[in-house]
């Protein structure tokens, strides 16, 4: 029921702010930001209230008596006024979202002292590792972990809860919930210091079978052409006799940690599965990442640079149906 009204709430907000465009919209955004968000000293920004898509910033804010909306990840007063908003600011999120239905859907349960993790983008495995798994390791342990219950739709999240349930208290919420005391921690990019914490907390299981890994990816879009992938695997098997082909969708969270923490070489199509590299940053020596011609990101090469890992990105060409692509076999032979 609340999910339905949350969609209605979004439509109302979009209509309400439809007239605010360009300079006027930016001015309104800055005014509301200054009023409702935390003072500038709590933000590690390059310039005051600057709006940009990519920001290397960190936000760590303590608050009291605010309601968390698990659908959006926003925090509100009891009247629905927004106080602490998205994980980063961009023009896409310039419309401040008021929650008009919050007073009618309040959760009877309260969180005495907690940290919320959720929002729609957390359902992506890469975002889950970067914005949930790593922060949990570095944030104070005297806070209850609060998750958006929709994450239970993901197998990796269920596996994750089984891993942490003996070590941390957590609760799941599906409607606006009052935090008597809370903490918001958000960071755009992880630093080496934070990634080193992953290594320190890792309960590594030695497994010599998974030194060289080919990550097979089959999703709704940006897949390798089937015939091209068969040729790629054939080339790799000739070069590496002990290569292992894995499909992360079929592996438990613990098994993925085990495999990637033992890996020396990773090869495969760009996707969320590559985020598992955070479990083996001190062991991995080389990464070969296949990229779709219409989509490029430097998130994984950036991590490789921090740990001096040889990272090669091979950009393919469109081929086949359903947005498939192929890579040059000659270029692959040079990289391996």
Helices and strands (H and E) in the chain: how many: 10, 15
170, 288: one domain: no
Single out the residue in 155, 189, 223 at which a domain terminates: 189
By the 10 Å C-beta count (0-12 exposed, 13-18 middle, 19+ buried), 24 is classed as: exposed
94, 152: one domain: yes
Residue 325 lies in a domain: yes
275, 219: one domain: yes
169, 232: one domain: no
143, 251: one domain: no
pTM of the complete model: 0.79
3-state helix, strand, coil in the chain (%, to 5): 40, 20, 40
59, 140: one domain: yes
Residue 157 lies in a domain: yes
Q: What whole-number percentage of the chain has pLDDT above 70?
A: 75
The H-or-E segment that residue 228 falls in is helix 226-239
pLDDT digits (tens, 9 = 90+) for 36-83: 343 333 333 333 333 333 334 466 778 889 888 887 777 888 777 776
User: Per-block average pLDDT, block size 10, for the chain (336 residues)?
Assistant: 67 56 43 39 35 47 86 78 53 50 75 86 85 90 92 91 89 92 80 88 83 89 88 96 94 94 95 94 95 84 92 90 89 94
Of the CA atoms within 13 Å of residue 328, those in its CB half-sphere come to 9
Residue with tokens 């060409």: 317
Domain with 90 in it: 2-189
Residue 202 lies in a domain: no
12, 154: one domain: yes
Residue 138 DSSP SS3: helix
Residue 198 lies in a domain: no
Residue 91 lies in a domain: yes
> What domain count does the chain have?
2
Residue 254 lies in a domain: yes
213, 183: one domain: no
C-alpha dist (Å) from residue 127 to 107, 264, 316, 334: 27, 23, 25, 32
Q: Which two tokens stand for residue 37?
A: 């968000």
Residue 228 lies in a domain: yes
27, 143: one domain: yes
Residue 272 lies in a domain: yes
183, 212: one domain: no
Q: Which two tokens stand for residue 152?
A: 């239970």
Position 11 scores a pLDDT of 66
74, 185: one domain: yes
Residue with tokens 């109302």: 12
Position 190 scores a pLDDT of 81
CATH of the domain at 254: 3.40.50
* R_g over Cα of the chain: 22
222, 177: one domain: no
Position 102 scores a pLDDT of 65
Q: CA nearest 156: which of 239, 84, 253?
A: 253
Residue 321 DSSP SS3: coil
């Amino acid at each position: 029921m609340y999910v339905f009204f949350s969609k209605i709430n979004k439509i109302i907000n979009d209509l309400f702010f439809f007239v605010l465009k360009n300079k006027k919209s930016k001015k309104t955004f800055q005014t509301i930001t200054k009023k409702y968000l935390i003072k500038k000293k709590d933000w590690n920004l390059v310039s005051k209230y600057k709006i940009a898509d990519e920001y290397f910033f960190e936000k760590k804010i303590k608050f009291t008596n605010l309601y968390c909306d698990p659908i959006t990840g926003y925090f509100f007063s009891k009247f629905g006024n927004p106080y602490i908003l998205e994980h980063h600011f961009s023009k896409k999120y310039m419309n401040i979202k008021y929650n008009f239905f919050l007073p009618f859907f309040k959760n009877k349960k309260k969180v005495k002292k907690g940290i919320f993790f959720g929002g729609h983008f957390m359902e992506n495995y890469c975002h889950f590792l970067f914005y949930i798994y790593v922060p949990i390791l570095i944030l104070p342990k005297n806070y209850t972990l609060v998750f958006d219950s929709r994450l239970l739709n993901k197998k990796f999240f269920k596996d994750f809860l089984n891993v942490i349930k003996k070590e941390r208290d957590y609760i799941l919420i599906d409607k606006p919930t009052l935090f008597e005391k809370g903490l918001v921690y958000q960071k755009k990019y992880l630093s080496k210091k934070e990634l080193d914490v992953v290594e320190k907390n890792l309960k590594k299981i030695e497994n010599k079978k998974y030194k060289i890994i080919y990550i097979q990816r089959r999703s709704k879009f940006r897949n390798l052409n089937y015939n091209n992938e068969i040729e790629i695997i054939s080339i790799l098997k000739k070069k590496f006799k002990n290569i292992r082909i894995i499909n992360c969708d079929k592996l438990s969270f613990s098994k993925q940690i085990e495999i990637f923490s033992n890996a020396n070489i990773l090869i495969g199509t760009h996707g969320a599965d590559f985020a598992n590299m955070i479990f083996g940053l001190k062991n991995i020596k080389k990464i070969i990442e296949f990229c779709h011609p219409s989509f490029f990101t430097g998130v994984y090469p950036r991590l490789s640079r921090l740990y001096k890992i040889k990272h090669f990105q091979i950009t393919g060409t469109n081929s086949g149906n359903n947005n498939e692509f192929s890579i040059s076999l000659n270029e692959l032979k040079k990289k391996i």
